[in-house]
Structure 1
């Protein structure tokens, strides 16, 4: 009988992550409208707009270790070439996307096609790597905003939001760094659970 794999991300982590992810996507939307100019473009992301009124603009940024991030108002995709992981704004549940079958550019979530849960140990490990990469990008973005625009801008973004934020404006980067550490720590838990018992 096959041993059941633990979830890719535990429920408590997904719950915490969803709150800061939703908040960060809200902030990215405000960054686009910054009076000092679109902060995403200033930071070096490229933008493609939908051809009509339907859909969301997509912002793309290359990652230092390889691969790219694609960001929309509805979610984020980590594309490493051979595989891609998508995180929807709601739920923070990673899904695998077959990028070879997608017609780019995509402006609506439906354009990403069918998505699947990572089912193998390797796919789940790669998915956690993707989540760590995304978390670290968001952390660095918040640090960049604080350095180049100042904390007052992020505080203004928070003030415009109706939902109560899960963290203070100057704590958002740290919240993403903590999330990256929590996801990385799952590798040790998974390895302990799947390692063969010696001397049994």
Structure 2
């Protein structure tokens, strides 16, 4: 007779929760796929509306407490209290490490406090969680420009435009970098 007794209830409960919550995640992913398809083919006026729909989806953490931390971090950013913003976004990232918007918010706060190393690390984290987060890709492009890496900035802006063809700021920066990166046609 074995001395060990395995309690299967937690294992069965965990399996049931995995199945229960995987369907909404798959549905959300399909919804995002549809939004990105619409964004890619949209007219400029419609693209801005679709962008806002995508941003609203990105802001859904699934937890009222995490939503509150996100809200407080954004409010601190608006008030230009970047230390408080970093604190709120750090708490959010600590408690919900798979929620890309916490990392993105903190990256923005780091940029505003001229802490570029941590900003780049957080932007990379955002993109490991959400590779289509075009605001994070754009942010990397601007950081690459600041550190005189025009080729990498150009590539980042191209990625933004692949996802969001009517992103005016990315198009403007891409046009400005075109000559430096690709030279002048003779």
Q: Using CA pairs below 8 Å that are at least 6 residues apart, which structure has the higher relative contact order?
A: 1
Under a length normalisation based on structure 2, what TM-score does the superposition of the two structures give? 0.24
